[in-house]
A and B are shown apart, each in its own frame.
Chain A
Amino acid sequence: AAGVIQSPRHLIKEKRETATLKCYPIPRHDTVYWYQQGPGQDPQFLISFYEKMQSDKGSIPDRFSAQQFSDYHSELNMSSLELGDSALYFCASSLGRLAAQETQYFGPGTRLLVL
């Protein structure tokens, strides 16, 4: 079965640079979520989109922005990168916003290292 696709899988950036992470949800899934997971920590919710509109906002820094496109893929844009931004970034997708459909399926993650 098709899964969530994330690219790139690994990314190395310098401080103050920008980065763009991409997420392609499971086909027919219309909701996308972004999470940040630091070493040894649980995933922290950043932001989510439903039907191309921002639906919920978590602990996303002002330096980050995201959007969902007409084909439902999503991009997380990160500017003025800091050392503390080094983490695994996961995207998850779900089908709709009804209770029975909200199970989130996670992608393999993008490992970002800021030097």
Chain B
Amino acid sequence: EDQVTQSPEALRLQEGESSSLNCSYTVSGLRGLFWYRQDPGKGPEFLFTLYSAGEEKEKERLKATLTKKESFLHITAPKPEDSATYLCAVQGGGQNFVFGPGTRLSVLP
């Protein structure tokens, strides 16, 4: 059964304090690993798709990396507007998306 765990559950950072969020997964036949940002009461907003180990993608202050067992979302010099829940999801051979529980990020000014 495909499974996704994320750590930490919650993270508080000072503005400008870089850190990383972890997504660990077990899946049969990874088709893709996805990162989303979700603000309270809103739909998940797509950030990145990673397909194979070693792949990296960047967007503004965010960088996502992928290994065979986990993915990291690195946040460089975060700002208060980066505060949100960050969700990781995987899609395996069964094709359904399986979401992790998310990491609640708070960036304090």
| Residue ranges of A at the interface with B (Cβ–Cβ < 8 Å) | 4, 33, 41-45, 48, 55-56, 58, 88, 90, 92, 97, 99-100, 102-109, 111
Q: How far is the CB of B34 from chain A (nearest CB, A)?
A: 7
Q: How far is the CB of B23 from chain A (nearest CB, A)?
A: 12
| A104:B97 contact, CB within 8 angstroms | yes
| Residue ranges of B at the interface with A (Cβ–Cβ < 8 Å) | 31-32, 34, 36, 41-46, 49, 51, 87, 91, 94-102
Residue from B96, B100, B101 having most chain A Cβ neighbours under 10 A: B96
List chain A residues, Cβ under 8 A from B87. Answer: 42-43
Q: How far is the CB of B30 from chain A (nearest CB, A)?
A: 10
Smallest CB-CB separation from B31: which chain A residue? A99
| A90:B96 contact, CB within 8 angstroms | no
| A105:B46 contact, CB within 8 angstroms | yes
Checking A48, A100, A109 against B43 with a beta-carbon cut-off of 8 angstroms, the contacting residue is A109
A22 to B109, CA, bound (A): 39
> Can you list 6 residue pairs at the A/B interface with Cβ under 8 Å?
A42-B87, A42-B99, A92-B44, A103-B34, A103-B46, A108-B43
Smallest CB-CB separation from A107: which chain B residue? B43
| A102:B91 contact, CB within 8 angstroms | yes
Checking B32, B94, B96, B102 against A42 with a beta-carbon cut-off of 8 angstroms, the contacting residue is B102
| A42:B43 contact, CB within 8 angstroms | no
List chain B residues, Cβ under 8 A from A92. Answer: 43-44
